[in-house]
Structure 1
Amino acid sequence: MTPRARPMAPDDRRQAIVEAVIPLLVERGSELTTREIAQAAGIAEGTIFRVFPDKRSLFLAAAEEAMNPAGGEQAFDAALADVTDLREGVVVVTDRVLDRMRLTMSVMMAVRPQLIAAFHEEKAAGGKPDHGPPAFVLKAQSDLHARLTRLFEPHADRLSVDPGTAAVALRSLIFGAHRPELGMSPALTADQIADLLLGGVLARKDL
């Protein structure tokens, strides 16, 4: 029997479907069907298409949510609410970003065929597709930079650089720390990243 979706506000329904899709994309990749999505979300298959025009738009919405989740700002602030020590804050944030990055990489690999297809369809239609990252990727990076900058701002008087530059340095270490698809091993831990960022690579006797 086809499940009957319980009443929900449109935005809540959209969010529920997107959240159901993300782990399925990680597990099944681009072969995921709308039937499987409907079963996971506990809704009829037709409900999906009352919220999303097609499967591609749903997959891209899932990629956006994986990379920059709704409520991410509040979750970031909550994670640091009781943290006053800078090193501890760097470790907490690094762990969170590394976890999110692993999830995002899996989801983006799954939706890559959709992104490529959209690019070629727009090109075939005579349009001028953007060769750069999708807008949601750029927004996610901008939001992350703002959050990392806020991490350093209360400690600005102790820094040798401005908080924005410290944020760039931390982001660079995090993004370079775990790239298994490039054969980069071993990965850096959150503690190692914090030590490298705050202490550098020179031994204390050589500073």
Structure 2
Amino acid sequence: MSPRATSMSPDDRRKAIVTALVPLLVERGGEVTTREIAQAAGIAEGTIFRVFPDKKSLLMAAAEEAINPAGGQELFDKAMADVTDLRDQIVLAAQRVLDRMLLTMSVMVAVRPHLIQAFHEDPDSKKHMGPPAFVLKAQEDLHLRLTGVFEPHRDELAVEPEVAATALRSLIFGASRPELGMKAVLTADQIADIVLGGVLRRDS
């Protein structure tokens, strides 16, 4: 007998289903069935389609949650709340983004066929050949988040906080590119040291 879903608002139900789906995509890939998704969420399979029109829209919501989770800023602020040293803040921020990148990569690989299908079905796709809107929004939010790390330390910086955030983001994104055959060559600690101290020896 299928489990009976507890009473939730449609928004809360969507969030609960997506939250259950993201780790399932990492484990099983894009071939996961709606029955498996329902089991992971503790609901009947039909409940999924009361809040999502089809499986593709569900997978797109999971991709968006993976790359830019709801409440991400609040979780970031909470993690950083007791960290006051700039280097420690950069290490923590870099590690969180590196971990999120690994999760996002797994989910994006799983939903890639559906992303491609959605692109081809979009009548305006030729007008905007770049990434989906939710990916652009995630990058914008991340840049603002990282800028916020540097903003309280503005007087200590040789560049604007926005520039420091761009440098940090670039190092994080370049730290591990397995799709290009590159191993993870930069740790969060190394990223922090390079952002703050550059690559020259101190006795140079």
TM-score by length of 2: 0.96
- The 5-angstrom pairing of residues 1-207 of structure 1 reads 1-122=1-122, 127-129=123-125, 130-206=128-204
Per-residue CA distance 1:30-72 (angstroms, 9 max, x = gap): 1111011011111111100000000010000001011111111
* Aligned counterparts of 1:40 and 1:82: Cα–Cα separation in 2: 34
* Aligned counterparts of 1:200 and 1:139: Cα–Cα separation in 2: 30
Q: Which amino acid aligns with 1:117?
A: Q
* Aligned counterparts of 2:185 and 2:17: Cα–Cα separation in 1: 33
Q: Which amino acid aligns with 1:15?
A: K
Structure 2: runs of 5 or more not aligned: none
Return the offset for 1:83: 1.2
Q: Which amino acid aligns with 2:79?
A: A
Structure 1: runs of 5 or more not aligned: none
Q: Which amino acid aligns with 1:76?
A: F
Is the Cα–Cα contact under 8 Å of residues 97 and 172 in structure 2 kept in the other structure?
yes
* Aligned counterparts of 2:142 and 2:120: Cα–Cα separation in 1: 30
Q: Which amino acid aligns with 2:88?
A: E
Classify the secondary structure of the residue corresponding to 2:203. Answer: helix
Is the Cα–Cα contact under 8 Å of residues 150 and 165 in structure 2 kept in the other structure?
yes
- May I ask how many residue pairs the two structures share in their alignment? 202
Return the offset for 1:79: 1.1
Classify the secondary structure of the residue corresponding to 2:29. Answer: helix
* Aligned counterparts of 1:116 and 1:169: Cα–Cα separation in 2: 31
| RMSD of aligned residue pairs (Cα, Å) | 0.9
* Aligned counterparts of 2:75 and 2:124: Cα–Cα separation in 1: 37
